[in-house]
Amino acid sequence: MSKRETLLEINNLRAFAEKTGEPRSQLVNSVNFRIDKGEIVALVGESGCGKSVTALSILGLNAASIEYESESEIRFHDENLLQLSDRKLRKLRGNDISMIFQDPMFSLNPLKKIGKQMTEALLQHKAADVRTARQDAEKMIERVGITDPKRQLDNYPYQLSGGMRQRVMIAMALLCKPELLIADEPTTALDVTIQAQILEIMKDLQQELDVSILLITHDLGVVAEMADRVVVMYSGQVVEEADVYALFEQPLHPYTNGLLTSVPTLEGESDERISAIRGTVPSPQELPKGCNFYDRCTRRTDRCKKEEPLLTNHGGRNVACWHPVVEGVKDDERTAIRN
């Protein structure tokens, strides 16, 4: 399917929280997926499943409190970001890979003018002078649909609405023309009409700048609207990964299936949350030996309890399940896709 060049590849990401005096708890376990150039990949999963940990790991923004397993790997242009020195990582941040966050209320420094905050990355990475940086910033916020950019750059964040601020965040993130934009729930805090506008802008810019996007969201409506490919996470693991059409057409993992059946329509701007499935997620300190979804699964067997299913190729898509929703695929046809 994708003949495109791979931009980012996450292999066997396993991360633990290290706190002195506490048992180390597993935050993510066997996360594997890739992002191709110019592609929008959606990362979905219910709250606490490790989406943000994964995203922050790419930029090393949570490195202080987190330990990675030695074979974990985040490949970006032939470099393992997890092994990169702090200096090299800083050169990447905001330049090749940038990120926007969920809550635009708090993502901007309240005491600094918008203009100052926007040009910071430009001045840091491109040998730009303050004037041209400012001009670039003006153009960019005009591009995200803010009128009167000159004046807005002299405003403080408190003078802007939430939607405006998220536009500013997007403009700021794209100012250095990065190859990858990580958007961690960029619209969750906004109301519905604004959400749609923001997504529209992101999609437009993505095409215009040919930037890849890792879009983290709860909202399957958003996924359907935006994504080329979908990665589904459950309890620190990637459980399914597929082309967006294939996934919505026929989910393979019982968990994905559960998610989709709780969403009425594909295009509907549903606010429905993924937690519609009964039962609770196991705590990261006491993960079961077998499948993490065992407790909540409708298709479980004894095997699921004893053996952990790995992410395996299943007709061009990947799924981690002993009993995928589509019958007739025999166990022995599966090949593990580890590494």
Partner 1 sequence: MFLRFLTKRLLYVIPMLFITTFIVFSFILLIPGDPALAILGENASDENLAQLRAQLGLDQSLLVQYWNWLTSALVGDLGESFFTGESVQEAVFSRMGITFQLVTTAIVIAFVFGTTLAIVSMMKPGSWIDEFARLVSTMGTAIPNFLLAMLLLAVFSLSLGWLPATGFISLFDDPIGFVRSVLLPSIALGAVGMAQITRHMRSALIEVFETDYIRTAFSKGLSVRQTIFHHGIRNAILPVVTTVGILYGNLMGATVVVETIFSIPGIGQLAVDSIMQRDFAMLQGVVLVMVVIIIVINFATDIIYSLLDPRIKYE
Ligand X SMILES: Nc1ncnc2c1ncn2[C@@H]1O[C@H](COP(=O)(O)OP(=O)(O)OP(=O)(O)O)[C@@H](O)[C@H]1O
- Residue ranges binding Mg ion (CB under 5 A): 52
Q: Which is nearer to partner 1, 159 or 313 (CB)?
A: 159
52 interacts with ligand X by CB under 6 A: yes
- Asked if 308 contacts 288 with a C-beta cutoff of 8 angstroms, the reply is no
Query: What span, in angstroms and rounded, lies between the C-alpha atoms of 223 and 197?
Result: 15
Q: Which is nearer to partner 1, 37 or 90 (CB)?
A: 90
Q: Which is nearer to ligand X, 11 or 26 (CB)?
A: 26
- Asked if 99 contacts 55 with a C-beta cutoff of 8 angstroms, the reply is yes
CB of 107 vs Mg ion, minimal distance in Å: 13
Find which of partner 1, ligand X, Mg ion, none residue 106 binds, CB within 5 to 8 Å per kind: partner 1
CB of 95 vs partner 1, minimal distance in Å: 6
Find which of partner 1, Mg ion, ligand X, none residue 27 binds, CB within 5 to 8 Å per kind: ligand X
Bridge pairing between strands 97-100 and 180-184: parallel
Residue where the block lists tokens 């958007």: 183
Find which of ligand X, Mg ion, partner 1, none residue 317 binds, CB within 5 to 8 Å per kind: none
304: Cβ–Cβ under 8 A, 6 or more apart, which residues?
290, 291, 294, 297, 322, 323
125 interacts with partner 1 by CB under 8 A: yes
CA distances from 128 to 68, 151, 176 (A): 36, 21, 11
Query: What span, in angstroms and rounded, lies between the C-alpha atoms of 242 and 224?
Result: 12
CB of 45 vs Mg ion, minimal distance in Å: 10
CA distances from 35 to 151, 211, 315 (A): 37, 11, 19
CB of 152 vs partner 1, minimal distance in Å: 14
Find which of partner 1, Mg ion, ligand X, none residue 53 binds, CB within 5 to 8 Å per kind: ligand X
Query: What span, in angstroms and rounded, lies between the C-alpha atoms of 211 and 183?
Result: 12
156: Cβ–Cβ under 8 A, 6 or more apart, which residues?
110, 111, 112, 113, 114
Type of residue at 230? V
CB of 44 vs Mg ion, minimal distance in Å: 11
Q: Which of 31, 43, 53, 121 binds partner 1 (CB under 8 A)?
A: 121
Contact set for ligand X, span 3-42 (CB under 6 A): 17, 27
String of contacts with partner 1 for each residue 81-120, x by CB under 8 A? ---------xxxxxx--xx-x-x--xxxxxxx-------x
E strand map for the chain: 6-17, 25-36, 40-44, 66-68, 73-76, 79-80, 97-100, 180-184, 212-217, 229-234, 237-243, 312-314, 317-319, 335-336
59 interacts with partner 1 by CB under 8 A: yes
Residues that bind partner 1 in the complex, under the rule CB under 8 A? 59, 61, 90-95, 98-99, 101, 103, 106-112, 120-121, 124-125, 156, 158, 169, 172
Residues that bind ligand X in the complex, under the rule CB under 6 A? 17, 27, 45, 47-53, 62, 65-66
